[in-house]
Structure 1
């Protein structure tokens, strides 16, 4: 199972939209490009639970499954929720999250008798043989839950809007990723994904800097600004589910195709 973390320390960069779109499109496959659907597990690691809301598995009244995994380091019973109607053979599952994550993180920090950083890695190892991909949607911070995600992950995708705040935060994020590599040498940055793109002299200059001088790989495909993508969130749908003909939906399809083409399905030794 290949584990992919979607992360940026800045909010509003389409992290959740990217994570849920990847999960959905990988599960559905691509008939045009003759790519079959994959078995996908979407791990909501953000206490806001937006990915969970997207697939209607959010529950604010009791500890969500991701929070329990954070506390215990094990998958446990009923941690995975099946999503119906997304892909043939129901190939997409979700691990929900909610605001109980704050309590779970406090419990982990107080636990001095057990390792704190590898709980997700251990838990996901219990189901590794059941999925091809695990996509982790992370919050815009570096709390204990994000550190756990980074320790478990194989590849990192960084959604970035072309504004000064996002670009300034990119350098800090890369530094943090390099520090986490001491705990997980397999982790690598798959690429930066430009999101909410609108063509202008400023955005073109920012993109040129990002590709030439940031030191990070950058995906060729960009995600265009689209009101449809924002509208989709009100209906708890992905861009492709809400408006498949929208620019953002078509761009996410092309992005996933580029990702699969560049990185293949699974590297040797990553399955199971």
Structure 2
């Protein structure tokens, strides 16, 4: 099972939309390209629970499954089904704050590898695990990074996001001491609107950032924003929208470049 973390320390860069779109499209497959659907586990690691809400499994009244996993290091009994074929989910909610406090107080057991141990239990059941992370570096994100094989960084082309990218890469390199296998798969440009400024920022990102940047860009789309109000992915809400088509192209680019490694990561 290949474990992919979608992360950026800045909010509003389409982390959740990227995570759920990638998970959904990997699970669906692509008949035109003769790519079969993969078995995908979508792991909501953000206490806001937007990924969980999108698939109708959010419950704010009790401790969510992701919270139990980080406390116990066990995943059995903490995976929920979705209505999508080949796609299961681990929900999250605001109880994650209490779970993090609890494990920080646990001085007898390792705090950073709970997700790694848990996901190892189901490594033969899925081809991919996509982790949607919050815009911070709490204990739950550190656990995700320690378990991760590959990191995808969604970025908007503004100064704040580009500054945050440098800081994130630095933090990732520090975490690599705990997980040398973690690598940055690439930066994904989101909410792209063509202008002289955005094109200059893109050139800098591709030539000066030191990170691989995916060729596909996710165009700015009102439909993508509207989709969030209906708790749907762009491809479900409006498959013909620019954002939906771009996420399809991005998924295929990802599979072409990295997808063949999924079998290797299952070993």
TM-score for the superposition, normalised by structure 1: 0.97
Aligned-partner Cα distance in 2 for 1:180–1:111: 21
Out of 193, 196, 216, which is 2:191 matched to? 196
Shift of 1:268: 5.7
| Unmatched tracts of structure 2, length 5 or more | none
Aligned-partner Cα distance in 2 for 1:137–1:257: 20
Query: Where does residue 143 of structure 1 map in the other structure?
Result: 138
Out of 229, 236, 239, which is 2:231 matched to? 236
Deviation by residue 1:11-30 (Cα, 9 ceiling, x = unmatched): 00000000000000000001
Aligned-partner Cα distance in 1 for 2:151–2:21: 15
Query: Where does residue 44 of structure 2 map in the other structure?
Result: 44
Please say if residues 48 and 98 of structure 1, whose CA atoms lie closer than 8 Å, have aligned partners that are also in contact: yes
Aligned-partner Cα distance in 2 for 1:265–1:50: 30
Residue 53 of structure 1 aligns to a residue in which SS? helix
Deviation by residue 1:169-204 (Cα, 9 ceiling, x = unmatched): 000000000000000011000000000000000000
Deviation by residue 1:25-62 (Cα, 9 ceiling, x = unmatched): 00000111111000000000000000000000000000
- The 3 A distance-change label for structure 1 pair 181 and 4 is same
Query: Where does residue 250 of structure 1 map in the other structure?
Result: 245
Q: How does 1:30-179 map to 2 (within 5 A)?
A: 30-77=30-77, 79-84=78-83, 86=84, 90-179=85-174
TM-score for the superposition, normalised by structure 2: 0.99
Aligned-partner Cα distance in 2 for 1:148–1:10: 19
Q: Count residues in correspondence.
A: 267
Aligned-partner Cα distance in 2 for 1:75–1:125: 9
Aligned-partner Cα distance in 1 for 2:250–2:263: 23
Aligned-partner Cα distance in 2 for 1:228–1:175: 34
Shift of 1:126: 0.3
| Unmatched tracts of structure 1, length 5 or more | none
Please say if residues 132 and 266 of structure 1, whose CA atoms lie closer than 8 Å, have aligned partners that are also in contact: no
CA RMSD of aligned residues (A): 0.8
Shift of 1:267: 4.8
Aligned-partner Cα distance in 2 for 1:199–1:269: 38
Please say if residues 10 and 164 of structure 2, whose CA atoms lie closer than 8 Å, have aligned partners that are also in contact: yes
Please say if residues 27 and 40 of structure 2, whose CA atoms lie closer than 8 Å, have aligned partners that are also in contact: yes
